[in-house]
Structure 1
Amino acid sequence: MGRHIRVRELDIWTEQVGQGPDVLLIGGAGDTVESWQFQLDGLADRYRLTAFDNRGAGRTAMPRGRVSVATMADDAADVLDGLGIASAHVAGFSGGSIVSQELALRRPDLVRSLVLQSTWPVPDRYLSTWLRFVQRLAAVDWSERDFLEGFFLDIYTARAHDDGTVAAFIDEVLAFPHKQAPEDLQRYLDAFLDHDGTAGLPRITAPTLVLAGGVDVVARPPLGQAVAEAVPGAQFEVWATEAHQPFQEVPDRWNARVDTFWQEVEAGIGTPHPRAADHDRAAPARREG
């Protein structure tokens, strides 16, 4: 059962499940706790997982004033501090991966390890243009279903569109009662358009795994590779047949990979794996329980 945690001026909606080493999950854009459902269900037998709604998403309000990556990293730190968690394995995707990078820099004491899914050091021209396009897309006066069908073209694989996975995701989003206002999404995206994390990446000391989707047109593999090359000792993998959110499309595979990484960190295995692209065919998408 989720609950609000009061941090500074904000009530942040959080959910915590499971037992074991602590994990903090940080979503992107309008994504809420529910975006991590496959992980909350699939990893709770091994870890205590905490997820939260970012400011301006779901059940967490968007305060007045400028939104920044630093502010959102402080939100994540406040969630851990508020729950009495001394340190956690931190996993973030898309915008949440950028917040995770910043958290590791601002509060290294809290970050046991990093998993960065679909990440970048700084938006290049292509990604900046895409982020601004999404801002304009959110402002168009059309139905929520039309927006999601268009937006999800760049987020999920053609496989997931064709096999009905995306249609099911859209139905879930439409049924969710806590909608994100378009202006809150626009302000959230502004934070990433303004953020350049390049200089900070070499100062990250947490063991880091960077994952990229080979057919991700948003956070393209060269962007993830640039992050992995900048973070000392980081591991980098490209999943050739996956897009922006493989933790939802192939959750069994994603959960198994991050579990292996976290177990290595827990065991104190300090030698990074060689950086190599993974071109194996992904397992079919499968929804669990």
Structure 2
Amino acid sequence: MGQHVHAGALDIWTEQVGDGPDVLLIGGLGDTVESWQFQLEGLADRYRLTAFDNRGAGRTTLPDDALTVEAMADDAAEVLLALGIGSAHVAGFSGGSIIAQELALRHPEVVRSLVLQSTWSAMDPYLRAWGEFVRWLVGAAPGEREFLEWFFLFIYTPRAHNDGTVAGIVDEALAFPHKQPPENVQRHLDAFIGHDTTGRLPRVTAPTYVLAGGLDTTARPELGRAVADLIPGARFQVLEEESHQPFQEVPEQWNGLVDSFWQGVESQDSRSSG
């Protein structure tokens, strides 16, 4: 069961499961704790996992002041503080990976490692144009179903569309009682479109694993590779047959990859402390 925790000036919705080393999961554009369902279920036997709704998504309200990636990164740090977690392995996807980058830069002491799925340091003209298109689509689509069906064309593989996976995700989203208002989606997009960590990523000290989908036409592999090249010692891997969200489409494979990475970090930490 989830709960609100008082984190900074906000009451942020969180869900925590499992037992073991701490993991913090950060969702992308408008995504809630439910987006991490396969990780909360599949990794809880090895880790204590915490997921939360970003400000302006799901059950966490959006203040009237300016929405920035920096503010969302500070929220993530405040969630850890509120739950008494000194540091955690941090994983984020898409916009959540940008928040994770900023968290590692602003609060390095709370980040034991970074997993960045479908990431970038700054939007290139192509990705920026896609972001502006989504911003327009939020208001232009005739209904929520149409928006989701069209938006998901860029997010999931043709395989997931053809085998009914995406239809199921759409139905679940339509039934979800805590919907994000269109204007909140647009404010989130504005924050991500304008954000740039390029010149600061060499300051990241946490062990980092960057993953990209070979079929992702938005956060394309070359953008993820550029992030990995900027972070000292970062690992980079392309899942050739996957798109933007392999942690949902092939969760067992994705969970296995990040589990192996986290176990490596744990072993290194144990050797260093010994």
How would you bin the TM-score normalised by the shorter chain?
A: over 0.9
Matched, 1:5 2:5: yes
Partner letter of residue 49 of structure 1? Answer: L
Q: How far did residue 142 of structure 1 move?
A: 1.4
TM-score normalised by length of structure 2: 0.97
Partner of 2:27: 27
Residue 138 of structure 1 corresponds to 138
How far apart are 1:8 and its partner, in Å?
2.5
Q: CA deviation at 1:141?
A: 5.0
Match status 1:149 vs 2:149: yes
Alpha-carbon distance in structure 2 between the residues aligned to 1:158 and 1:35? 19
Residue 186 of structure 1 and its aligned partner are, at CA, apart by: 0.3
> Which residue is equivalent to 2:200?
200
Quote the Cα distance in structure 2 between the aligned partners of 1:12 and 1:160: 31
Which residue matches 1:73? 73
Q: Give the corresponding residue for 2:220.
A: 220
Judged with a 3 Å threshold, the aligned counterparts in structure 2 of structure 1 residues 139 and 123 are, in CA distance, closer, same or farther, namely same
Cα shift readout 1:157-204 (whole Å, capped 9, x = no counterpart):
000000001011111111110000000000011111111100110000
Q: Which residue of 2 aligns with 1:235?
A: 235
* Separation in structure 1 between the aligned mates of residue 160 and residue 258 of structure 2, nearest angstrom: 22
Q: CA RMSD in A?
A: 1.0
Distance in 1 of aligned mates of 2:43 and 2:109: 24
Q: Deviations over 1:104-140 (max 9, x none)?
A: 0111110000000000010000011111111110012
CA distance in 2 between counterparts of 1:260 and 1:231 reads 20
Matched, 1:47 2:47: yes
> Residue 126 of structure 2 aligns with which residue?
126
CA distance in structure 2 between the partners assigned to 1:121 and 1:154 by the alignment: 20
Q: Which residue of 2 aligns with 1:259?
A: 259
Report the alpha carbon displacement of residue 31 of structure 1 after superposing the two structures with TM. Answer: 0.4
Contact 2:54 2:72 in 1 (8 A): yes
For 2:31 and 2:84, the matched residues in 1 are separated by 24
Is 1:160 aligned with 2:160?
yes
AA paired with 1:191? A
Alpha-carbon distance change, 109 to 269 in structure 1, aligned in 2, over 3 angstroms: closer
* 1:97 to partner: Cα distance: 0.2
Taking structure 1 as the reference length, what is the TM-score of the superposition? 0.92
Compute the displacement of 1:264 (Å): 0.3
Deviates more, 1:230-239 or 1:5-14: 5-14
For 1:39 and 1:268, the matched residues in 2 are separated by 23
Structure 2 gap segments, 5+ residues each? none
What amino acid does structure 1 have at the position aligned with 2:239? W
Runs of 4 or more off by more than 4 Å in structure 1? Answer: none
Secondary structure at the counterpart of residue 252 of structure 1: helix
Q: Is the 8 A contact 2:211 2:239 kept in 1?
A: yes
Tell me the secondary structure at the aligned position of residue 154 of structure 1. coil
For each residue in 1:28-53, what CA deviation from the matched residue of structure 2 results, as whole angstroms up to 9, or x when unmatched? 00100000000000000000000000
Whole-angstrom distance in 2 between the partners of 1:143 and 1:2: 29
CA deviations over 1:224-245 (Å, ceiling 9, x no partner): 0000000000000011110000
Find the counterpart in structure 1 of residue 177 from structure 2.
177
| Distance change >3 Å, CA 78–CA 269, structure 1 → 2 | closer
1:186 aligns with 2:179: no
Aligned residue number for residue 247 of structure 2: 247
Segments of structure 1 that go 5 or more residues without pairing to the other structure are: 271-289
How many angstroms apart in 2 are the aligned matches of 1:263 and 1:220? Answer: 27
Tell me by how many angstroms 1:9 deviates: 2.3
Deviation at 1:10, TM superposition (A): 1.2
Determine the structure 2 residue equivalent to 1:268.
268
Residue identity opposite 1:104 in structure 2: A
Give CA-to-partner distance per residue, 1:244-275, whole Å, 9 cap, x none. Answer: 000000000000000000000000079xxxxx
